A and B are shown apart, each in its own frame.
Chain A
Amino acid sequence: MIPIQNEMTCDVLCVGGGIAALQASIAAAEEGSDVLLVDKAHPRRSGSGATGCDHFGCYLPEVHGDDINVIVREILGSQTGTCHDPRLTRRFLKESTAMVHRWESWGIPMRPKGFYEFKGHAFPTRPRAFLHYDGRQQKPILYKKAGECGVRFLPYSPVVDFVFNEHGQPVGALALRIDQEDPGFTLIRSRTIVLATGVATRLYSSETSPGMLFNLAYCGSCTGTGISLVWRNGGHTLNMEIPYIHAGPKHFARCGKASFIGVARYPDGSPVGPFVTEPDKDYGDVTLDVSHRILTERLCDGRGPIYVDCHGAPEAWLDEMREALRWEGVAAMLDHMDEEGIDFSRHAIEFMQYEPHVQGRGVEIDENGETSIPNVYAAGDIVGNFRVGVSGAAVYGWICGKSAARKSKDAPSSSSLDQNSLDAACDRCSRIYDRRGSGGATWREANIAVQTLMSSYAPVPPHKARSANLLCAGLKYMKDLRAKLDRELSADNPHELMRALEVYELLDCGEAIMHAALERKESRGNHVRSDYTLTNPLLSNKFLIMTNRKGIVAGTWREKWN
């Protein structure tokens, strides 16, 4: 049995070390809470915001004027605006103003050119909601700030489960230590918990480079821990069935689409969209925000491929764009271009749609960031009813930190733990490690097995549809796969054990998707069903809430919180 080597206690436990978790930790520490931040990696450079971002969605009255609704509309109409409870969007935008100023005072360049510049993810003639900033050092700066506020850190410690009190309520977490020869556990007791574990990648087969698991636009160590924990423990999840499918350069999966100022063109040179015909430094070509799917559709019908072509832009604009890509954390692509002699001024780059990942889908939170599980909060990419990338993670992380700190003052500290569930959690991990050296199944095989099931039985458009037949078969195969992994999955060291446990999180996310997709008897966005082809207008202002209570899965509909 993997031993519990260490026990820790705190008021607020932040699970994750990314943008949302660091923000939550700072906010809670400022309220006087004893805060522990537990990260799978090291918070200085972990997660999707590791080396930069450059578009901070926000409302700045000094730029946008007094009417916040102008920006509410733009955010809800943007590529990240599909799965929002508008009440949360408004709360976010109200608090985003102060966050811009706060980040600036902490040393993150929010106006690197000396003025607030809004560009990217924007339509010509419409207001612009995304502030262009230099995010390269955002993580080291937030990490330092958290340390200065008294936050304690536990790095290299993926959280694998909650720990519960005798009433079955989560009162802490179990984290696995991976920075030692043999794995060990840290048992953490806390009054409140903030989940902020980022996107779930590696769930679908790779579109860019099949067989290679880590050609990913987002952090590949994020596999939906927070969603899995909430799903496994009867909490509300939503929008899991509505896939988000990102797009970008082919075949190097990268974010940064909005930093490109070029025009999306067909091979005959004609523009794909109606927005621009020449490179535009303020708007870029928003066509590929409006539709990611068009990239695959045009490839499949032979009218593509589609290129992003920056030719004709003045050299100064191209320099600015290269700089923007660096701010965004996409410098690895620029290095590759330099090595290969690929130049934006002379070459048009093919774009493609990547495989789906889970972002802005998952955990339901209320206006204060609390999930349906009391004393458990969630922020950032794991949230299913609000998402604005980095700024959404920053602001809602902050809101969660403040709320959790206040709640911690009243929440009782846990006296006794439910020993049975703790033993079960330790046992679940230990069994995999006990098979080390036995020639058992590897996490990689297991991960690919999950991907093939997801791609076949919870497929995404274009040209593929879901149906009750497929989803029921998929759920059966997922159950079989889980049973097989329970018998055969092995790990030779802590690193492999971490990856093996990630596969279980992906199984949870996959099952949550299939159940929700089965329940949503209509087609909507990238959720396309061949047995329910209509998009039902009566459901437009509703969300489907899914719960899994000890294996009994149920769906209920509620009105969006307007």
Chain B
Amino acid sequence: MPPIIDKDKCIGCGICAAICTMDVFSHSGKGHSPEVLYPEECWHCRACTMDCPKGAVRLRLPIPYRLLFVDSATLRQGRRV
């Protein structure tokens, strides 16, 4: 479940935790990687990913959220997908 912090890249600045509008993280202080306390409350605004100075945060989309899609070519040919 989102977000996921890469501990190797994270410098523990805590920006992700400070700006999260959903209060998903907890941060115990500079130098410590934030903990993802409430992953299921993420609304995927992606602010943590955008503002992380080290590119250490990514979001994993829960399976039920996945996009449903079909081949355009099949659709265009009027064949049922």
Residues of A within 8 A of B81 (CB): 267
Bound CA–CA A333/B69 (angstroms):
13
> Is residue B42 contacting chain A, with contact meaning CB distance below 8 A?
yes
> Is residue B78 contacting chain A, with contact meaning CB distance below 8 A?
yes
Residues of A within 8 A of B38 (CB): 495
Give per-residue flags for A472-505: 1 if the beta carbon is below 8 A from chain B beta carbons, else 0: 0000000000000000000000010010000000
Residues of B within 8 A of A42 (CB): 18-21
Q: How far is the CB of A195 from chain B (nearest CB, A)?
A: 18
Interface residues of B in 59-80 (CB under 8 A from A): 59, 61-62, 64-73, 75-78, 80
B23 contacts A221, CB within 8 Å?
A: yes
Residues of A within 8 A of B78 (CB): 268-270
Take A41-B21, A214-B42, A495-B38 as given contacts and tell me if A346 and B71 are in contact as well, using a CB distance cutoff of 8 Å: yes
> Is residue A136 contacting chain B, with contact meaning CB distance below 8 A?
yes
B23 contacts A215, CB within 8 Å?
A: no
Bound CA–CA A34/B42 (angstroms):
34
Q: How far is the CB of A4 from chain B (nearest CB, A)?
A: 22
Interface residues of B in 32-60 (CB under 8 A from A): 37-38, 40-47, 49-51, 58-59
Most chain-B Cβ atoms within 10 A of its Cβ — which of A208, A219, A310, A336?
Answer: A336
A216 contacts B75, CB within 8 Å?
A: no
Bound CA–CA A41/B25 (angstroms):
12
B62 contacts A267, CB within 8 Å?
A: no
> Is residue B4 contacting chain A, with contact meaning CB distance below 8 A?
no
Bound CA–CA A339/B58 (angstroms):
12
Report the interface size for chain B: residues with CB under 8 A from the other chain: 39
B67 contacts A346, CB within 8 Å?
A: no
Give per-residue flags for A286-322: 1 if the beta carbon is below 8 A from chain B beta carbons, else 0: 0000000000000000000101011110000000000
A332 contacts B19, CB within 8 Å?
A: no
Residues of B within 8 A of A219 (CB): 21, 43, 45
Residues of B within 8 A of A249 (CB): 67
Residues of A within 8 A of B70 (CB): 267, 307, 347-348, 350
Most chain-A Cβ atoms within 10 A of its Cβ — which of B20, B46, B51, B70?
Answer: B46
B22 contacts A220, CB within 8 Å?
A: yes
Q: Which residue of A lies closest to B42 (CB)?
A: A214
Residues of A within 8 A of B37 (CB): 495
> Is residue A521 contacting chain B, with contact meaning CB distance below 8 A?
no
Bound CA–CA A274/B49 (angstroms):
40
B22 contacts A221, CB within 8 Å?
A: yes
A251 contacts B18, CB within 8 Å?
A: no
CB contacts between A and B, total, < 8 Å: 151
Take A309-B75, A311-B73 as given contacts and tell me if A44 and B65 are in contact as well, using a CB distance cutoff of 8 Å: no
Q: Which residue of A lies closest to B80 (CB)?
A: A267
A252 contacts B72, CB within 8 Å?
A: no
Bound CA–CA A178/B25 (angstroms):
12
A220: which of B41, B65, B68 is its contact (CB, 8 Å)? B41
Residues of B within 8 A of A350 (CB): 67-70
Take A51-B46, A252-B61 as given contacts and tell me if A337 and B75 are in contact as well, using a CB distance cutoff of 8 Å: no
Take A45-B19, A495-B23 as given contacts and tell me if A309 and B72 are in contact as well, using a CB distance cutoff of 8 Å: yes
Bound CA–CA A518/B31 (angstroms):
56
Take A252-B61, A348-B75 as given contacts and tell me if A332 and B45 are in contact as well, using a CB distance cutoff of 8 Å: yes
Most chain-B Cβ atoms within 10 A of its Cβ — which of A45, A335, A347?
Answer: A45
Q: Which residue of B lies closest to A334 (CB)?
A: B46
Q: How far is the CB of B34 from chain A (nearest CB, A)?
A: 13
A347 contacts B71, CB within 8 Å?
A: yes
Give per-residue flags for A190-218: 1 if the beta carbon is below 8 A from chain B beta carbons, else 0: 00000000000000000011001111100
Interface residues of A (CB under 8 A from B): 40-42, 44-47, 50-51, 136, 156, 178, 208-209, 212-216, 219-221, 249-253, 265, 267-270, 305, 307, 309-312, 329, 331-333, 335-337, 339-340, 342, 345-350, 495, 498
What are 22 A-B pairs with beta-carbon distances under 8 A? Answer: A42-B19, A42-B21, A46-B21, A51-B46, A208-B65, A209-B65, A214-B41, A214-B42, A219-B21, A249-B67, A250-B68, A253-B65, A267-B70, A307-B69, A309-B72, A311-B72, A331-B46, A332-B45, A340-B67, A347-B70, A349-B67, A350-B70
Closest 10 CB pairs of A and B: A311-B72, A209-B64, A45-B47, A45-B19, A41-B21, A46-B21, A332-B44, A347-B69, A50-B45, A220-B43
